[in-house]
Amino acid sequence: MGRLTYRHKGGAARLSVSAPFRVRPLPCSAFAPPPGAGGTVAGVQDDTITIGELAARTRLSLKALRLYGARGLLPPALVDPRTGVRRYGPAQVERARRIALLRAAGLPLARIAAVLDAADSDGDAGERELLAYWREREAEHAARREAVGYAREVLAGRGTAVFEVAERDVPEQYVLFVRRHVDAAALPGFLAEASGLLLGRLREAGACLSGPLFAVYHGLVGEDCEALVEVCAPTPNAVGPNGVGPHGPFAVRIEPAHREAYTALTRRRTAAMAAAHDAVAAWVAARGYGRGGPNREVYHPNWATAGPQEHVADVAVPLAGAGAGAGSGGPRRGADDGLTTG
């Protein structure tokens, strides 16, 4: 076998090989991972990718991917314990794809989490969660459409009939109520929570309702402002030795008998509650009536089960003064027989 010789002479180095000289190749097994490593290099699975590669595959920005990771929406498949580098597998690629699709549909991150969590346990459940979100958005769109239609009538100064307004007498009644300051975002949750508390309290006490639940608004509840709202349950069992209140979050008062102006709303038109409040108030002002109390919404027992065209709620304003028609014995139309706000 030849020799490999290295010589240094006169400041120059020379490398010479004497023939014959052969290099023996190493077996492929020399480069294979140790037994039990499962096809990994330095402990990293060979089917995982970096966050940069994930961004390239999904067309999501690094900023978005990091945000989804921080929110728990897109955890990595594994994290290098030494460097902290995150690696993502096929499951994360698919999850990132779904996040991108849901985000493009307008879902907030919290709702995306709910949809994906539901889909992880049951694909049909994920679909139902998404459809529930979309129904909520359609209801909001319907509310805005109705509100814009009413605003157009107001801006144009037209007296076109938008909401039919009438008057009625309301007898004195005891009410058990829960109150809270809320804005528009918190209002639906409070109405549902308070209604459940009131009905639960009545059941515990073996008490009964003497009329539909209603909510009293002591100010405008909007996106930019909050107001005190009272959810009330009329009951003859409010006071006395076995009365249901006052107790805990519950308070009791007497609602005096009064006459009120009101408009009846179908399930579909409850999306335009704000416009209905304005319409009844405008009707009252146009006839020179005094206000006998804050606006209120009355919720009938079929609220949760009614179809789109069924009567489920009223928006009302208590009246005061001689012009209120007190004691006239029931609902009546306006003197001009026009049930409009104009």
User: Is residue 69 domain-shared with residue 9, that is, in the same domain?
Assistant: no
Report the number of secondary-structure helices (H) and strands (E) in the chain: 7, 15
User: Is residue 296 domain-shared with residue 219, that is, in the same domain?
Assistant: yes
DSSP 323: G
User: Is residue 271 domain-shared with residue 310, that is, in the same domain?
Assistant: yes
Kindly state whether residue 187 falls inside one of the protein's structural domains: yes
The answer to whether residues 254 and 172 touch, using CB atoms and an 8 Å cutoff, is yes
Rounded to whole angstroms, the Cα distance separating 159 from 123 reads 51
Kindly state whether residue 330 falls inside one of the protein's structural domains: no
Kindly state whether residue 81 falls inside one of the protein's structural domains: yes
Kindly state whether residue 338 falls inside one of the protein's structural domains: no
Token pair 């009644």 is found at 173
pLDDT at 205: 83
CATH number of 309's domain? 3.20.80.10
pLDDT at 241: 47
User: 150-153 contacts: CB < 8 A, separation 24 or more?
Assistant: 150/272, 150/275, 150/278, 150/279, 151/275, 153/342
User: Is residue 126 domain-shared with residue 182, that is, in the same domain?
Assistant: no
> Residue length, the chain?
342
**How many angstroms separate the Cα of 283 from the Cα of each of 242, 263, 267, 298, 323?**
42, 10, 22, 18, 13
Q: Is 113 exposed, middle or buried (0-12, 13-18, 19+ CB in 10 A)?
A: middle
User: Is residue 201 domain-shared with residue 313, that is, in the same domain?
Assistant: yes
The answer to whether residues 272 and 146 touch, using CB atoms and an 8 Å cutoff, is yes
Rounded to whole angstroms, the Cα distance separating 168 from 324 reads 10
Total number of domains in the chain:
3
User: Is residue 52 domain-shared with residue 194, that is, in the same domain?
Assistant: no
State the residue range of the domain holding 119. Answer: 46-158
CATH number of 134's domain? 1.10.1660.10
Which pTM value belongs to this model? 0.62
- Amino acid of residue 133: Y
Q: Is 56 exposed, middle or buried (0-12, 13-18, 19+ CB in 10 A)?
A: exposed
- Digitized pLDDT (tens) for each residue of the chain, 342 residues in all: 555 555 555 555 555 555 555 555 555 444 444 443 434 444 445 689 999 999 999 999 999 999 999 999 999 999 999 998 999 999 999 999 999 999 999 999 999 999 999 998 887 899 999 999 999 888 888 878 888 888 888 888 875 568 999 999 999 999 999 999 999 989 999 999 999 999 998 888 888 899 999 999 999 998 889 999 999 999 987 655 455 666 778 899 999 999 999 999 998 888 888 889 999 999 999 999 999 999 999 999 999 898 888 999 999 999 986 344 444 443 333 333 333 333
User: Is residue 214 domain-shared with residue 270, that is, in the same domain?
Assistant: yes
User: Is residue 146 domain-shared with residue 211, that is, in the same domain?
Assistant: no
Kindly state whether residue 188 falls inside one of the protein's structural domains: yes
Pick from 304, 206, 296, 286: which is nearest to 258 by CA?
296
Q: Does residue 246 have a cis bond before it (omega within 30 degrees)? A: yes
The answer to whether residues 177 and 233 touch, using CB atoms and an 8 Å cutoff, is yes
Kindly state whether residue 266 falls inside one of the protein's structural domains: yes
